Every structure is written in C-alpha cells, then in structure tokens.
Structure 1
C-alpha cells in the first residue's frame, strides 16, 4: 500500500484503490475485513472522511471518499493506510492460524 496519491482539489471526491503487499488474500477472513471497516468508521467520525462507497476484495480495496475538514485528502488517506496496515500486520502476526512456524 505504498502508492503516493496526488489530489489536486482538496474538496474533491476521489476514487482510490490499494492492494495488500504481494497481493496476498488477507481479506478472506472477517476479522481482517472488520479492521478495515473499524478504521474507516474512525476516519468518518474523527478525521472528516466522507465515504460514498467502498468495496473490499480478497486482496485489495476500492474507496470513493472526500475530506470534509482538517486534513488534506492525501494526509487523511495516508493516516488511514498507515494505521490500518500496522494493525493488520500486528493482528496477523499474533494469530496462531497465520503462523509460519509449524
């Protein structure tokens, strides 16, 4: 999820897509999808993200959104992606079903 987005109109509505590293099918498990949804909800309530639509696929996500206040769209999206990816990686590492050590 490292693409840098360029938003020319801070008040515009944007369609973005971002994928999991190496296109791993992370979002086949509900617990990982729930992390995405919880963090989207947080951004709506606390960071001024207005969401028009979203679609979670097995290894990527599509989002139509705009920033209504405080943060520029690129900063808002960057915060969402950075925090969400950290939580996902930590949750996956702590999940015994995902462990590589057999």
Structure 2
C-alpha cells in the first residue's frame, strides 16, 4: 500500500516506501547499472538495452545517447 504525502492531493508518481541501496563498491554500482539497463528488455520493450532510447545503455555500448558528454561508470577490476 502506498503511503500518501501531505503535499499530494490527487496523484503521486514516486513511491514513499523505496528501499535505498548504498553504493559502497564498484561491484554494487555495476550491478545496479546492469539492473537498470536490463529493465526495458525484461519488460519486452526492446531486444537489447542500448535500443531503449531513454537509457544510458547506449552510452555504455560505445554509442552516443540523448545526453551529450555523459560520463559513464567504468569498472576496473582492482
């Protein structure tokens, strides 16, 4: 059940019961990026993550996405 906020009268887009995850290592950061990029594929919107126009997966695939000069996370196995 979604909780209501006192400043919301009709519709609420964001959930108030989110579960923040601390990005404490490169491995966790990469896991979360992969999860976000795979969501459109799992929902059947596209075949490849980089095909979803509103995703940074395009930039991670070496192409140019919608946002110019996007800084991407690079994982170096240290």
Q: TM-score, normalised by structure 1?
A: 0.25
Bigger proportion of residues as helix: 1
> Which gives a bigger RCO, structure 1 or 2 (Cα 8 Å, sep 6+)?
1
Report the TM-score when normalising by structure 2.
Answer: 0.29
- Structure (1 or 2) with the larger CA radius of gyration: 2
